[in-house]
Amino acid sequence: MHNPFQEKNTDDGRDADYILQSLKGDQNALEALILRHQSWVFNIALTMTGDIPLAEDVTQEVLIKVITKLSTYDPQKAAFRTWLYRIVVNHIVNMKENRKESFFSKMMESNDDEMFINNQPDRRKTVRVENERLKEETKASCVLCVLLCLTRKERMVFTLAAVFDVTDKIGAEICEMSRVNFRQSLSRSRKKVYQYFMKNCSLLNENNPCACADQTNYLLKAGIINPERLIVGQNSLGSIQSALGNTIREVEGSYHEFISLFRDRPFLQGPDMVSWLRDLMKSSHYRSLMNWT
């Protein structure tokens, strides 16, 4: 699988060729370019939002921006991955607060890491869910939703560096900050999330108070888990770990198990962008923006 975040992006020439052909009116080249990156855009959006329908919407909105601005891309100023994923970052960081962000920000508004756990029903009064699929969904949802305790910029740095193994050099370019600031932001965000998990989550310490089976019903009732759109029920291209390939850097020992909670998640294929893109390209408006006749 193509990983756009590898330090030595030996495959970047293919992007350049697709861009050149796309701007000449080759719809197949544009389709190939979009499909090379759409799953990465979608999985970044999902990690940032914890919400499949919203991540699908974000993916489409970002790709529309990429398509309509493609003629402005200047390879002399930045690599294509920097240009494209900078659009992703800016779009997500600046979009309107979503329902899950609002829900968890209220839970965390006291700045107390235990607020979320303490606001949930008494475990002794909660019916444990034994459905393995729903328990896996609870795990996937909680792992993502815990990130909502971070600011969006912190969450984006964590998503890029800790989850998708983006180096400080590439991450700093994409996020438009210095490498020092990128590393400092990663250190702060990683520490916050790590401490939360170590204090509350039974996945890392079985003596901790929050167990997936105890919280499933609560998250279902709160609308955090949508039984009609389970993360674990989506088409997967393997795990995030496998999608990253064989060039993954070693994770610091104390963080290894914790980071694995994120990288062991499925790398989802995402929405069917082929049909959407073909319909979009039939539009005279977008054809004119691409200077296609």
Model pLDDT for residues 222-255, shown as the tens digit of each residue: 788 888 888 887 788 999 999 998 766 666 667 8
**Residues 44-58, buried b or exposed e (16+ Cβ, 10 A)?**
bbbbbbbbbebbbbb
Amino acid at 19: I
- In a domain, residue 3? The reply is no
Look up the domain containing 46 and give its range. Answer: 12-289
Q: 206 and 120 in contact (C-beta within 8 Å)?
A: no
- In a domain, residue 31? The reply is yes
Instruction: Give pLDDT, residue 180.
Output: 98
- In a domain, residue 189? The reply is yes
Nearest alpha-carbon partner for 136 in 261, 14, 28, 9: 261
Q: pLDDT tens digits for 38-64?
A: 999 999 999 999 889 999 999 999 999
Per-residue CA distances from 173 to 12, 47, 83, 239, 259 (Å):
16, 20, 9, 26, 23
Is a pLDDT exceeding 50 seen at residue 186? Answer: yes
Burial class (CB in 10 A: 0-12, 13-18, 19+), 6: buried
Q: 80 and 16 in contact (C-beta within 8 Å)?
A: yes
Nearest alpha-carbon partner for 157 in 197, 188, 195, 185: 185
- In a domain, residue 2? The reply is no
Number of domains in the chain: 1
Beta bridge partners of 210: 201
27: its two tokens? 């719809």
User: Looking at per-residue confidence, does 14 or 233 come out higher?
Assistant: 14
Instruction: Give pLDDT, residue 124.
Output: 44
- H-type alpha helices, the chain: 12-23, 27-49, 52-69, 80-94, 99-107, 115-118, 132-145, 152-158, 168-175, 179-200, 212-221, 240-244, 256-263, 273-281, 284-289
Instruction: State the average pLDDT for the chain.
Output: 85
Can you tell me the distance from the alpha carbon of 159 to that of 137, in angstroms, rounded to the nearest whole number?
Answer: 19
Q: 199 and 231 in contact (C-beta within 8 Å)?
A: no
Q: What is the DSSP letter of 238?
A: E
Is a pLDDT exceeding 50 seen at residue 113? Answer: no
- In a domain, residue 5? The reply is no
- In a domain, residue 130? The reply is yes
- In a domain, residue 238? The reply is yes
Can you tell me the distance from the alpha carbon of 263 to that of 54, in angstroms, rounded to the nearest whole number?
Answer: 21
- In a domain, residue 6? The reply is no
